[in-house]
Amino acid sequence: MSPIDLIALSADELAARVRDWDWPRYRARQILRWLYQARITDIAAMTDLSHADRTRLAAEARIGSLAQSEVLASEDGTRKFIFPLEDGKRIESVLIPDEDRLTLCLSTQVGCTLDCTFCLTGQMGLQRNLKAHEIVGQVLAAQRLLPEDRPITNLVLMGMGEPLANAAAVEEAIRRLTNQTWGLCFSPRRITLSTAGLSSRLKQVARMGVNLAVSLNATTNEQRNRLMPAVNKVYPLETLLAACRAFPLKPRRRLTFEYVLLAGANDTEQDAARLVKLMRGLRCKINLIPFNEFPGNPHRRPSDERVLRFQAILIQHGLETYIRKSKGRDILGACGQLGTLPDVSVLVRPPGPHSPQPIPIHSHA
Ligand code: SF4
């Protein structure tokens, strides 16, 4: 019988195993702390278990972890990790330093079911959902690569995949990331889940307690059907915005709307004016993301003047609006650039004198 992977078990499943082994209940909590707080990968390191218990545990179980295959470092300090999974598939996480923050952008699926036309991940199609421990594993593996005094401070579920298309695993991962007794102790305020707009599942985000970001990218259904056809045909703009208005926002929290600016597709002054109207009555901020171009994609990045004009219109109408700096463009680590398509693998390499021009990535922007 193959050994049990302790990190693949939920807290309840581990408690059941501990019962089966006739161990005291507190043993489950001890093990969980070793897994998530000490981040060990070797059962022998569980020094508050007796030698006999460790020997027994090691005979029946193991601690799985994501192997690190490649780290691509950008000139701006962003790092992209490419993790191989046990079935040979690969996922990517991006670590983004910004002043006193260190944000890790997590993947939730290998590929994506949706087909947003500005996204490299969407072109891969869905290969499979990640399991909860593979989502948490990205945090554990990234943190192991960092010095002890450099903790990851924020998490964004904006990497490869649509988190709400894999909601059960994401919810279980959030439980482990936020548990204050034995888990990774992240405050839910420091975690943001970004959805392309699976409106019927926003309630689940409220239950998780994390921040909600919505990748909007269009101001009419016609436009959104062109840019994000799969999601908008099921949840058109009016359904999505109604679900956002019904979202039970906690005091002092806001929704984030992300808007990838695509030259000639959604970046006109009329778009900005329509966006102002759509946002009426919503407690929110807007992140504008000038498109990160990548080979084979027809979309283009608007000029800086156009981006600033778009922002100015929103601000004039009282909307708090930021232009997101693209980080990691030289390592395909920016929004919309996550994906390991065979025909772009040549671009996934550390920057050097012959590196390709910066290219854009993600996911929910
Ligand atoms: S933007 Fe997000 S939802 Fe759309 S295809 Fe990319 S990963 Fe999927």
Distance 227 CA to ligand 1 centre (A): 11
The rounded distance, in Å, linking the Cα atoms of 130 and 108 is 6
Q: Taking the CB of residue 250, how many other CB atoms lie within 10 A of it?
A: 11
Q: pLDDT tens digit string along 282-315?
A: 999 999 999 989 888 999 999 999 999 999 999 9
Residue 328 clears pLDDT 90, i.e. is over it: no
Pairwise CA distance, residues 120 & 92, whole Å: 12
State the amino acid at position 219 in one-letter form: T
In the numeric block, the tokens 């996550």 are attached to 338
Across the range 39-51, mean pLDDT stands at 96
Give the number of the atom of ligand 1 that is nearest the alpha carbon of residue 215: 1
Does residue 255 register a pLDDT over 90? Answer: yes
- Give burial (CB, 10 Å; 0-12/13-18/19+) of 115: middle
Is the pLDDT score of 350 beyond 50?
no
| Closest to 65 measured CA to CA, from 47, 93, 84, 45 | 84
Confidence of residue 167 (pLDDT cuts 50, 70, 90): very high
CA dist 56 and 50 (Å) reads: 10
**Which pLDDT score is estimated for 291?**
94
Inter-residue contact 256 to 322 (CB < 8 Å): no
Q: In this predicted structure, what is the pLDDT of residue 364?
A: 55
- Strands 191-195 and 154-157, by their bridges, are parallel
Tens digits of residue pLDDT in 135-157: 999 999 999 999 989 999 999 99
Cβ atoms 237, 224 nearer than 8 A: yes
Residues of the chain with CATH 1.10.150.530: 4-62
The predicted pLDDT at position 326 comes to 72
Q: Which tokens hold the place of 112?
A: 């994506």
In this structure, which amino acid lies at residue 68? Answer: Q
The fold for domain 70-347 equals: TIM Barrel (3.20.20)
CB count within 10 Å of CB 22 equals 6
| Burial class of residue 324 in the structure, from the number of CB atoms within 10 Å of its CB (0-12 exposed, 13-18 middle, 19+ buried) | middle
pLDDT above 90 covers a percentage of the chain that reads 81
pLDDT in tens, 84-132: 999 999 999 999 999 899 999 999 999 999 999 999 888 889 999 999 9
Q: How far apart are CA 316 and CA 313, in angstroms?
A: 5
116 lines ligand 1 (CB under 6 A): yes
pTM score of the predicted model? 0.91
Residue 357 has pLDDT above 60, yes or no: no
Q: 3-class DSSP state for residue 299?
A: coil
CB of 161 closer than 6 A to ligand 1? yes
pLDDT given at position 148: 87
pLDDT at 356: 28
Spacing, Cα 101 to ligand 1 middle (Å)? 25
Q: Tell me the CA distances in angstroms from 262 to 58, 268, 279, 310, one per residue in order.
A: 54, 10, 20, 12
CATH 3.20.20.70 range(s) for the chain read 70-347
Q: Which residues are catalytic?
A: 92, 335
Using the mean position of ligand 1's atoms as its centre, give its distance from the Cα of residue 122 in Å.
5
Cα–Cα distance for residue pair 210/60, rounded to 1 Å:
36
Fold that domain 4-62 belongs to in CATH: DNA polymerase; domain 1 (1.10.150)
In whole angstroms, give the CA distance from residue 171 to residue 159: 16
Least confident range from 50-59, 62-71, 136-145: namely 62-71
Atom of ligand 1 nearest to the CA of 160: 7
Nearest Cα to Cα of residue 31 among 16, 19, 48: 48
Q: What is the pLDDT of residue 347?
A: 26
Asked whether the predicted pLDDT for residue 335 surpasses 90, the reply is no
Could you tell me the pLDDT band of residue 2, with boundaries at 50, 70 and 90? Answer: confident
Q: Are 69 and 83 in contact (CB under 8 A)?
A: yes
Min mean pLDDT across 25-29, 124-128, 279-283, 329-333 is at 329-333
Measured from the CA of 112, which atom of ligand 1 is nearest? 8
Strand partners, 83: 91
Grouping H, G, I as helix, E, B as strand and the rest as coil, residue 47 is: coil
Question: Does the pLDDT of residue 235 top 80, yes or no?
Answer: yes
